[in-house]
Amino acid sequence: MKSQLKAFLFIALVGGIVLLSGCDKDPEPENIPEEITKVILTFSATGAAPIEVEANDPDLDGPQPIVVGLIALDANTTYTLSVEFFNGFYEPTKPEYSITDEVEAEGAEHQLFFSWSAGVFSNPDGVGNIETSGTVNYNDEDENNLPIGLSTIWTTASATTGKTLRVMLKHQPGIKSATSTSSDGDSDLDLTFPIRINE
Report the range out of 7-21, 30-44, 178-192 with the highest average pLDDT.
178-192
The CATH number of residue 174's host domain is 2.70.50
Mean pLDDT, rounded, for 166-185: 97
The better pLDDT of the pair 27, 131 is held by 131
When divided into structural domains, the chain yields a total of 1
Q: pTM for the whole thing?
A: 0.83
Mean pLDDT, rounded, for 9-15: 48
pLDDT of res. 8: 47
pLDDT of res. 132: 87
In a domain, 7, yes or no: no
- 3-class DSSP assignment, residue 31: coil
In a domain, 37, yes or no: yes
In a domain, 14, yes or no: no
Nearest alpha-carbon partner for 149 in 189, 104, 180, 182: 104
Q: Is 131 left (phi over 0), alpha (psi -120 to 50) or beta?
A: left
Helix (H) / strand (E) containing 40:
strand 38-44
> pLDDT for 78-93, tens place per residue?
999 999 999 999 999 9
Residue type, 88: G
Distance of CA 118 to the CA centre of its chain: 23
Domain residue limits at 122: 33-198
In a domain, 61, yes or no: yes
